[in-house]
Amino acid sequence: MYEGGNRTLSIDSRSVRLLYPAACCWQIGGGCRFIFSQRPLSTRVELSTTDIASTLQNPATLTRDEYAVIRQHPYFTYSVLSTIGGIPMIADWATFHHEKLDGPGYPFHLDGKNLNTGSRILAVADVLTALAEDRPYRQGMQRDEVLSIIRAMGAKNTLDRKVIRILEENYEEIMTQTQGKQAEVPASYDQDFVGRRPPEIHCNVT
């Protein structure tokens, strides 16, 4: 159970430990190249490919088709993680970060009845990073603007209001830790990924 100020959030210690790997995994579907094929494999026909990572780095306004590609990444994350035994919570939380309490999210259009505390925390975290981080198409927003947008989403029952209030009470600490982790990313990315072809995930269409 998390207690912050006069706010209480029910989450057990094991779930807290699993939140970090789930957050690290939520963009797996954006870093792979997916190839869709028809069965039987002896008569394999390549239908389409997606390279989501390059689309995410596009500084221009996305087209309708490009936005549709972006929206596929949580499903592809699920396609990868759900095949790994023993981590169903991580697979679900990493997949559900674009789901909304009122039901219009993606990829599965789940509502609040099907989104537990871990899913709700990562949904708020995803919006926070999307707003506060620098992106190819704009600079990151400042604290007041970020929280104003997130509060409005809570008022519309899109995001969990308890999670939002805890974010407000701990904003500076959260952002300090986030920025510290972000500072570690460029060197790691250059070492592990630059110049390498994205891994391919083959999906069979029956």
Neighbours of 16 (CB within 10 A): 14
Does some domain include residue 160? yes
- Nearest-angstrom CA–CA distance, 104 and 53: 24
Asked whether residue 6 is assigned to any structural domain, the reply reads: no
H or E segment to which residue 7 belongs = strand 7-9
CATH number at residue 133: 1.10.3210.10
pLDDT of residue 159: 97
Residue 135 tokens, joined? 């992106």
Interhelix angle for 73-81 vs 88-95, to 10°?
170
Contact 74, 97 (CB under 8 A): yes
- Reading the block at residue 95, the tokens are 């997949």
Looking at the domain assignment, is residue 91 inside a domain? yes
Contacts of 139 (CB under 8 A, 6+ apart): none
Q: What pLDDT tens digit does each residue of the chain (206 aa) get?
A: 444 444 557 788 888 888 888 888 877 766 555 555 445 444 443 334 456 666 666 677 778 887 887 888 888 888 888 888 778 899 999 999 999 999 999 999 999 999 999 999 999 999 999 999 887 778 899 999 999 999 999 999 999 999 999 999 999 999 998 888 777 765 655 555 555 555 555 555 44
Q: What is the pLDDT of residue 34?
A: 52
Instruction: Please give the residue range of the domain that contains residue 130.
Output: 14-205
Residue 149 inside a domain? The answer is yes
Task: Supply the pTM of this predicted model.
Answer: 0.76
Is 107 domain-assigned? yes
In a domain, 3, yes or no: no
Number of independent structural domains in the chain = 1
What is the per-residue pLDDT for 96?
94
Q: What is the pLDDT of residue 12?
A: 84
CA contacts within 13 A on the Cβ side of 16: 7
**What secondary structure letter does DSSP report for 58?**
-
User: Is 67 part of any domain?
Assistant: yes
**What is the per-residue pLDDT for 112?**
96
Report if residue 7 sits inside a domain: no
Identify the pLDDT of residue 136: 77
